[in-house]
Chains A and B, each alone.
Chain A
Amino acid sequence: MLKGIAASPGISIGEALIYSKQELKIENIKINVCEVEDEIKRFEKAKDETKAQLEMIKDKAEQTMSEKEAQVFKAHIMVLEDATLYKKITNNIMQNMLSAEAACEKAMNDICIILENLKDDYMRERAVDIKDVVSRLISNLAGINNLCLNDLERDVIVVCEDLTPSDTMQMDLDKILGVVTDIGGRTSHTAIIARTLEIPAVVGSRIATCKISNGDLIIVDGISGEVIINPKENEIKFYSKKREDYLLHTKELEELKNIPTVTKDFRKLELCANIGSPKDIEGAIRNDAEGVGLYRTEFLYMDRKCFPTEDEQFEAYKEVALKMGNKPVIIRTLDIGGDKELSYINFEKEQNPFLGWRAIRMCLDMPEVLKVQLRAILKASHYGNLLIMYPMITGIEEIRKANKILEEAKGELLQENISFDEKVKVGIMIETPAAALMSDKLIKEVDFFSIGTNDLTQYTLAVDRGNEKISNLYQPFHPAVLRLIKKVIDASHSEGKWTGMCGEMAGNEKAALLLLGMGLDEFSMSSISILKVRKVLLNSSFEEMKIISEKVLELDSVDEVIEFIDKGYK
């Protein structure tokens, strides 16, 4: 068995095809002065030939892929026609007296060395694009036709060192069951394209092309990252079952898209996504999120040398607002400190950082920082449906102080004639026992609550969630935590307001039922959990879970709660 990186989920079982490119042996490296002109002509001719091939690939890409993906192949044509590349190659021929093939190869290597030394993974992998184009050019010069993946006789799993963009473009998709590569990571071209095309893939196995032979029966498990070579009968059985389950599961979930989340007895719930940057919106939309329940803004502040400007923040918030349209997006104001620090703020060493200078406490000490953020959120609220949420609240004064800064920001924008949503809703995170116990008072100052179960559990049970020695004590299902959650939800409902949850608990299928029974209105989780939770909630009854949850809240211990839940609430 080989172990690689799970790059694209799914399981495939089939015959291996080793896809290796003919080694380009470049001979006749040096040329004479009298040959220069001929070599330039040969290069020009091969360049035209290559261009025609790339145009064909690009046309195919435009028909079968999104415009964004097809742009990669437009970029390939630009690489081929690039003046810098042309100059390098012709210089190699005219001044270094290299043959056209050698001239192309040297130019390619010179450029790739620069790219491969870049710090960013994504950038570094763009060397693949350059190699792809120039190798094709060299093949054309040498008159080599490589094995193509576009004319396969039967279904295969492609095993190769790596796939280039033009390889994948020419692939005969109906016949390719899976992909295994020696090199690459989750951001490599092969991984990205396999996910887009939904072909199971394991990348970075290091030795697949050595260990696997043409015609071997292999199993690719793109979920675990495992590849099994010549599997035994029982392994085939096991993976066939796993494959069927996976397909059934994804098909079922697929059918749950664009369906509102309503229980059998017609209680409407909202399933939202937790995001960390505008990039994550794509996944939220793909998984049919009904909104964003938590936009963690701290990533805007991290990995830099100074605070992000109002404009930078505005751009990010605006992008999220626009992409989500009229769906609600809850933006949490800066929640830093605890385990996350910023290089440009002096966080003094604290005995208990989780009980220390963090989140709203820090922001209220630096009101200008909070005001810049609130101004940026308000400005962006004009472009969508944004809500504001303060983290780490323990008392009513903190809400009042933060809201005072919000009012100042609104006043400034009014004076500056900048439009924003004047009725923007404001809520707080409930993540301290103090806030939960005072929720009936706090709700009068805000429009909604969102429960952060990770911190609420740690603070309620006095358990450091990073400490492995006591990790068995970290129990979100502890009756103490559950009772606080119930209290918070009830407090919001008694004022005609609502409560959401943005901790990991909301994305847990078993917990979701209990939370439904306790009256939770909005569930926010990682995008990939949304459809799973929707499935559970669609098949549930609110009235039934309400009675059951009342029983759960009367149990004596966390063990009893967990046992009860594991038995299917019976």
Chain B
Amino acid sequence: MVEKNYIVKNETGLHARPASELVQFVNKYKSDIRIIKDGCEYDAKSIIEILCIGAVKGTEIVISVQGEDEAEAMDNIVNFLDNIEE
């Protein structure tokens, strides 16, 4: 399992469109991908759970990936989050 702390950077946070893009993106990976905020775990492959995080700009989250492609998935997820377009 790999884990990484991350702070949401884009202006409007993970609202509908970025959230759906993220979900489409993480569904490419076989690993189990979770986002942890304030001790609660959310399934990154579920758009509803991503929306429920309420991740606005500056929110501190932990990304946790477990599975055969975990290293690759982690790098690409961070890269994806860094480059969300408003």
Could you list which residues of chain A lie within 8 angstroms of chain B, going by C-beta atoms? Answer: 68, 71-72, 74-75, 78-79, 82-85, 111, 114-115, 118-120, 122-123, 126, 129-130, 277-279, 303-304, 312, 315
**Main secondary structure on A side of the interface with B:** helix
Q: Which of the residues B9, B16, B48, B54 comes within 8 Å of A315, measured between beta carbons?
A: B9
Q: Which residue of B lies closest to A114 (CB)?
A: B52
Closest to B19 in A: A75
Q: Are B15 and A122 in contact (CB under 8 A)?
A: yes
Residue of B nearest to A77 (CB): B20
Contacts of A126 in B (CB 8 A): 15-16, 51
Q: A82-B47, A84-B46, A85-B46 are in contact. List 16 more A-B contacts (CB 8 A).
A: A71-B17, A84-B43, A84-B48, A111-B52, A115-B51, A115-B52, A115-B54, A122-B12, A123-B51, A126-B16, A126-B51, A129-B16, A279-B12, A312-B9, A315-B9, A315-B82
Q: Which residues of A contact B48 (CB under 8 A)?
A: 79, 82, 84-85, 111, 130
Determine whether the beta carbon of A72 is less than 8 Å from that of B16. yes
Check if A71 sits within 8 Å of B21, measured CB to CB.
Answer: yes
Residue numbers in B under 8 Å from A277 (CB-CB): 11
Please tell me if B56 contacts chain A, counting CB pairs below 8 Å: yes
Task: Assess the B20–A71 pair: CB atoms within 8 A.
Answer: yes
Distance in Å: Cβ of A57 to nearest Cβ of chain B = 15
CA distance A118 to B56 in the complex (A): 10
Nearest-neighbor residue (CB-CB) of A70 within chain B:
B17
Indicate which residue in B11, B17, B21, B56 contacts A119 across the interface (CB closer than 8 Å): B56
Closest 5 CB pairs of A and B: A118-B54, A75-B20, A84-B46, A120-B56, A78-B47
Nearest CB on A from B13, distance (A): 7
Chain B positions within 8 Å of A130 at CB level: 48, 51
19 residue pairs bridging A and B, Cβ less than 8 Å apart? A68-B17, A71-B20, A74-B24, A75-B17, A78-B20, A78-B24, A79-B48, A82-B47, A83-B46, A84-B43, A114-B52, A118-B54, A119-B54, A122-B13, A123-B54, A129-B16, A277-B11, A278-B11, A304-B58
Residues on A with C-beta less than 8 A from B45 are 83
Complex Cα–Cα for A303 and B48 (A): 27
In the bound complex, how far is the Cα of B48 from the Cα of A260, in angstroms? 48
> For residues 15 through 31 of chain B, which have their beta carbon under 8 Å from a beta carbon of chain A?
15-17, 19-21, 23-24
Q: How many A-B residue pairs have CB under 8 A?
A: 69
In the complex formed, the residue of B with least CB distance to A304 is B58
B38 adjacent to chain A (CB < 8 Å):
no
Interchain CB contact (< 8 A) of A123 among B13, B43, B58: B13
Asked if B75 CB lies within 8 Å of chain A CBs, one says: no
**Interface assignment of B32: CB less than 8 Å from any CB of chain A:** no
Q: Which of B23, B24, B47 has the largest count of A CB atoms less than 10 A from its CB?
A: B47
Chain B nearest Cβ from A283, distance in angstroms: 13
CB closest residue in chain B, given A119: B54
Q: Quick one: closest A residue to B55, CB to CB?
A: A123
Residues of the A chain whose Cβ atoms lie less than 8 Å from the Cβ of B15: 122-123, 126
Shortest Cβ gap from B44 to chain A (Å): 11
Looking at the assembled complex, report how far the CB atom of B34 sits from the nearest CB atom of chain A, in whole angstroms: 12
Q: How far is the CB of A322 from chain B (nearest CB, A)?
A: 11
